[in-house]
Structure 1
């Protein structure tokens, strides 16, 4: 019988140190790196004025701000439409009178709103009179927090549910109906939890069928996507799915114009959290027809379909999987 070769303990210690170092690099890149490199870069804002001399003043204001701001000069009606569609984060309205008005919206990402308010208020200081502030769709503190919190909790809750199912079914074949039941169960229960938190944090936030339906779509889409990867990779899929949870507060909570171009291209451009967060924000603030709601529904529905396709894809039979799990099975080759 050949002797068993034992690897030195130092090899395992070195490997463990390398894994820990890699984890620190990944987590640092996903979280603190995105926050530490935040800086305004072509933040879209608008300045509006009626036809006449104020149009010239509007163009003069738009010529300032460098690369930090991306000004759009338009008329008052069009400017407010741009704000409603979230194509700009704030509007500076010039009118005949003593002062200008800074127009903001609670349906816009708070990070973009804060930058726009500071920039527009600074530009208005060059005008006569004290600038006025007008808030469209005013958002409470909970209204600003709930969209991102709901997205993160939806991902985490459905991920834990999927991981527990894989762990409890270790060594056994998990059937398709069981996987579907886990996806649907997580969708119903986690949606109920999110609705409960929303009502607890701010009872004035609307829990309409549009909001509840969007929450349910978000949770089931996340759960289906995770269930598909867990079926393909097993518990090892957590190495991919768990770190993505950290992307929510660090990246999806920002607007792209504040992120470093590297984070904007590699993380923000594809993370599913931004679609669920911004769509839910519009619904909670009473803007159901906003473009990000439609985009969010299409993206989340695509994730749901893709995840369910993997879950429903025919696999090996129960006998084949059981035989594959046997470490020392006898194979009949037809020789007796």
Structure 2
């Protein structure tokens, strides 16, 4: 059977067009499709009224909570629970109602996409009650603070990916110690780059031991998983690792209530980028990551380390090991066995 490059040029052109269309299809599904299908679905919000509030205000709260709108999921609470609900991100915004006054309470520690939707909905409800809403933001975040969690995640992935690909392409006979040294170097330098950007963008961003430690955990997990796939598949792993990077801004930058259910199940539910983004956002605002956000990266690091430490089977070189010695005679460029046979 003739190889593709031996086919007529017209056939090659059509095959190349098919490959390009398939790549565009995959990238469109992973990136623009998430944003194009974004729609509010049960966005968690709260309306807060005092226990002794006038009956009309209580009636407004009960009416909101009893509504059947799919876009918003309401809960009734009291003003003294507002900060707790927002800090745990059980809701993305709270509308506090008082006689002649309405206050929209938001938090800088919440994903900006969720905060934006909460602001729009809560301000509209407040105006419908006849009040001019006052907006209060707890733990306000600067533009850099809103950008840093996702940017830090993406940069750590890129640092490990480029380092791993370059090592795979250049190293002829990589040892396990060399691979691990590369992982540690890529992690340390990647964290340094991210920390440097944080300091450049906003000096108020905390570069504390928990923040740097979490960045290091994410960075080493990324580098180990990338190194493991590159060891198993060689540079062909870039066909998987490259598109995964594109998932970060499209999926991790959204709250799940804004993502189409299909994308939520197929992408958002498993992508590690959302865990690192939300964990880092919590740390930058004085909180701490959830246990699950730490366990995910500990598990990824352990799995990647296991693959990198597995011994090679005799006679089975890694795909990433570069060229394999086939016994080519330097004099006539023919395999030694063939030269002896022709003699």
How far is 1:188 from its partner? 0.4
Quote the offset at 1:61 in angstroms: 2.4
Structure 1 runs (4+) deviating above 6 angstroms are none
The residue number in structure 2 matching 1:161 is: 163
Asked whether the 8 Å contact 1:283–1:293 carries over to 2, the reply is no
Q: Per-residue displacement from partner, 1:277-332 (whole Å, max 9, x unpaired)?
A: 011011111122xxx44322111111111111111112235x653996528686xx
Does residue 313 in structure 1 map to residue 310 in structure 2?
yes
| 2:61 counterpart (30, 47, 58) | 58
In 2, distance between residues paired with 1:329 and 1:265?
A: 56
Correspondences of 1:1-336 after superposition (within 5 Å): 6-52=6-52, 53=55, 54-64=57-67, 66-95=69-98, 97-169=99-171, 172-288=172-288, 292-317=289-314, 321=317, 325-326=325-326
How far apart, CA to CA, are the structure 2 residues paired with 1:146 and 1:325?
Answer: 47
- Figure out how many residues of one structure are paired with residues of the other and give that number: 322
Aligned-residue offset at 1:128: 4.2
Greater CA deviation, 65-74 or 100-109? 65-74
Unaligned runs of 5+ in 1: 331-336
Report the CA distance between 1:64 and its aligned residue: 4.2
Other structure's SS at 1:151 match: helix
Check the 8 A contact 1:99/1:127 in 2, yes or no.
no
Distance change in 2, residues 1:199/1:324 (3 Å)? closer
Work out whether residues 43 and 70 of structure 1, in 8 Å CA contact, stay in contact via their aligned partners in 2. yes
- 1:94 counterpart SS class: strand
Cα separation, partners in 2 of 1:44 and 1:325, compared to 1, 3 Å: farther
Contact 1:61 1:123 (8 Å CA) reproduced: no
Displacement after TM superposition at 1:253 (Å): 0.5
Q: 1:73 to 1:12 in 2, by over 3 A?
A: same
Per-residue displacement from partner, 1:204-236 (whole Å, max 9, x unpaired)?
A: 111101111111111111000100111111100
CA distance in 2, matches of 1:59, 1:326: 78
- 1:89-110 alpha-carbon deviations (Å, 9 max, x no partner): 0011123x32021110000000
Q: Secondary structure at the match of 1:302?
A: helix
Deviations 1:169-209 (A, max 9, x none): 2xx33111011011110110000000000000001111101
How much is the aligned-residue C-alpha RMSD, in angstroms? 2.3
SS at match of 1:246: helix
TM-score by length of 2: 0.88
Structure 1 position 251, deviation (Å): 1.2
Task: Report SS of the residue matched to 1:103.
Answer: strand
1:128 to 1:14, Cα distance in 2 relative to 1, 3 A = closer
